[in-house]
Amino acid sequence: MLSLLVEFYRYGLEPVPPFSWFGVGISTLDIVAMFRLCVVLRQIRELSMIEHVKSHGKKGVEEDSFVKKAATTLLVVYGGEAIVGAIQFIRHM
């Protein structure tokens, strides 16, 4: 049973073909983690919005926009990855 879990984990760490064609080593676990992080960030944003509306009311609050939410989430996810990648690159110099 343990060997099955280990092999499943190793399979999840292998690069996904569409990304590996371009030399980017993004694995299935990376993609799952990205979506999980997007869901968590969205939940945190929704909770913050509810708290803000309770304390200040709806005045001055923008309407929800899917494009704005998606762009912000992807910027946080991939922007963080870019910063971490740059820091690791500098450490190895």
Tell me which of 75 and 11 has the higher pLDDT: 11
pLDDT at 56: 85
Cα distance between residue 78 and residue 38, in whole Å: 11
Number of domains in the chain: 1
Residue numbers of the domain that contains 18? 2-91
DSSP secondary-structure letter at 44?
A: H
Buried/exposed code over 5-20 (b: 16+ C-beta within 10 A; e: otherwise): eeeeeeeeeeeeeeee
What does pTM read for this prediction? 0.58
Lookup: tokens for 33:
């983690």
| Vertex 89 angle, CA 7 and 76, to 5° | 75
For 30-53, write each residue's pLDDT tens digit: 888 888 887 887 888 888 888 888
pLDDT at 89: 58
